[in-house]
Amino acid sequence: MENYVAIVVDNDAKAFESLYDLWNLDAAGDITVHGATVIHRDKYGYVDVAKRTAGANARTGSGIGSSALLGALGSTNGAGSSGLGADATSVFLPRGRSAVIAEVTERQTIAIDDLAAHAGGTIFRRAKSDLRGDARYDFAMRSLRRYGLAVVLALWSCAQNPSGGTSALPLAAGQTAQAHHRVAHRGDMASQIQHVVIIVQENRTVDDLFQFLPGANTQSWGYNSSWQQVSLQPENLAAAYDLSHIHTYFSTEYNGGNMNGFDLEQCKGKCVANAAYAYVPQSQVQPYYTLAETYAFADNMFESDQGPSFVSHQYLISGTSTTSTGSANKASNNPEDPEGDLVGGCDSPQGSLVGVINPKGAEPQNLKMYPCFQRLSIMNEMDAAGVSWKYYQATQGAGLWNAPDAIQSIWSNPSEMASNVISPSSQVLTDIANGNLASVVWVTPTQAASDHPKVNNGSGPSWVASVVNAIGSSQYWSNTAIFITWDDWGGFYDHVSPTIYNSFELGFRVPLVVVSPYAKPGYVSHGQHEFGSILKFVEETFNLPSLGTTDVRADDLSDCFDFTQPMIRYKHVATKYPPRYFATLPAAEPKD
């Protein structure tokens, strides 16, 4: 792959160290460096190109030197590009920072990614192929040869922004809106966010997964139905049992607000006594703790619904599980086909049915319906506004976690499904590395990496950290908000009684980790949040209309951010399993 890269670090010393390391990679045959140099952007926005370089050749393959690199990296062509400021370098280089800029041929991106991580820096990468045909890029290359760097930077700034605002490039024939769309933001809160990544894991409560997180509201014991105190016991993340988490057992455990019915749980597998009263040892999920302690954590985040995975994933894209737009009835459980196998979506086998709850809390048989809904989702709103999105899922076809498949208007559009609903889930790592991150992304796991009891293998924390590490070491870090949450409580004990709004809302607490260069570091939010809060953040970030569902009552998670603080530099999170491991996992969902 022929790429232009910028390794952004704190100062010139680190930049020159990284430059030597870059040439060493070239000497080892891991990459081919066609040209590289060091630049620094001062506090006023002016850019200096270092007079001393490392290696035999500091010129690009086309022979136009560091000026061409600046023009290429500053081009707005290509997916995921940022808005420009005073000059072309503001795309990738904050004021007061230094960078190695280079034209390289990479066999795999991991070599330079590791180099940047070692230097404590971030990567901005642009494929050379993305720039061909960009009229302003071609103009810049010609001008660089004729006039030099200073004049071209001024011309570039004027071309980008003749009136002081950010302008978008017109679409060339055959290009998509994803590459160029600039959205209008509402308010200061989300003005610096251009990408929202929603990572969805499975079946955990705050007390179960983050028992020892400093500052979080957790409890190490609970009452049973006889009002006896039961201590939470350690359980492996990959425990060999599973607890029921259908709506019936929510009601049993909630027990009219007493929160003491967890001993009446239904358990399958190699069950232990008081299986619901459990916590996962911190050592087994350390990447989650590292992210939560480095960035922000919400200990009062609630599952919006009182049901299992299928309906929770509907809430994560629609803010509801209503059977159609405007209906008072909501899908309430996991769909099954006529043989009793779990399915979900408009591609479920004929005869598949999902349970439905009415406003009075009844779930009569005659309300059951095929799990395909004429209901609005936030994807529909984004389509109308030209905001790009992708939903990464383990497999195509019917599935509990395959949320867009259950929205008839999306599922019935083959081209949209092919472009935006992506399998396998690990493709997100490739898309980030290749500069193809959509504006809004959902990432769901394979069952092995899901944290789902009985079927996971303990790799979930490494999976989540691998996705976050990929973003943190990419060009996207400076303008991304990442929300990591769990789709339902999984039957596990939690001591906080939820607010009950109606017959199906709210459910129990689930964890939420907020990762961003603008997240409040080490902050624990005690405000009430729910799945609708994530949707509201997306709506406000991309100036979308309200869905008119749970997003209306929900907050927007603004207390987890401080957009006036210095941008947090990303630090690589250590993992047990490397990113490449997740491409080898079987693509499957749990059958429970």
For the stretch 429-460, pLDDT in tens is 999 999 999 999 999 999 999 999 999 999 99
What are 299-352's pLDDT values in tens digits? 999 999 999 999 999 999 999 999 998 899 999 999 999 999 999 999 999 999
3-state helix, strand, coil in the chain (%, to 5): 30, 20, 50
Residue 53 lies in a domain: yes
Domain count for the chain? 2
Residue 247 domain-assigned (yes or no): no
The pLDDT, as a whole number, for residue 124 is 79
Q: Are residues 175 and 286 in the same domain?
A: no
Same domain, 33 and 148: yes
Q: Alpha helices of 298-434 — where are they, by DSSP H? A: 309-318, 378-385, 408-411, 414-420, 427-433
Residue 255 resides in a domain: no
- Answer yes or no: is 138 within a domain: yes
- Comparing 465 with 173, the larger pLDDT belongs to 465
Instruction: Look at residue 241 and tell me if it is in a domain.
Output: no
Range of the domain at 575: 195-205+281-318+376-583
Which residue, of 179, 213, 235, is where some domain finishes? 179
Whether 175 and 200 map to the same domain: the answer is: no
pLDDT tens string 268-313: 999 999 999 999 999 999 999 999 999 999 999 999 999 999 999 9
Task: Specify the pTM.
Answer: 0.70
- Token pair of 497 as six digits: 């009684």
- For residues 151 and 454, give the distance between their C-alpha atoms in angstroms, rounded to a whole number: 63
Give yes or no: residues 384 and 523 share one domain.
Answer: yes
Residue-wise pLDDT for 26-80, tens only, equals 888 889 988 888 888 776 666 777 644 433 333 333 333 555 566 556 544 333 3
* Together in a domain, 299 and 162: no
Say yes or no: 143 and 200 in one domain.
no
Residue 47 lies in a domain: yes
- Are residues 560 and 528 both part of a single domain? yes
Do 200 and 119 lie in one domain? The reply is no
* Radius of gyration of the chain, Cα coordinates, nearest whole angstrom: 25
Cα gap 389→223, rounded to integer Å: 44
Q: Tell whether 158 and 75 lie within a shared domain.
A: yes
CATH, residue 426: 3.40.720.10
Q: Which of 179, 214, 246 is the last residue of a domain?
A: 179
Whole-number Å distance between alpha carbons of 3 and 106: 7
519 and 398: one domain?
Answer: yes
User: Do residue 304 and residue 453 come from a single domain?
Assistant: yes
Among the three residues 144, 179, 214, which one is the final residue of a domain in this structure? 179
- Give the model confidence (pLDDT) of 68-115 as tens digits: 566 556 544 333 333 223 345 555 677 788 888 888 898 777 888 888
Q: Are residues 459 and 534 in the same domain?
A: yes
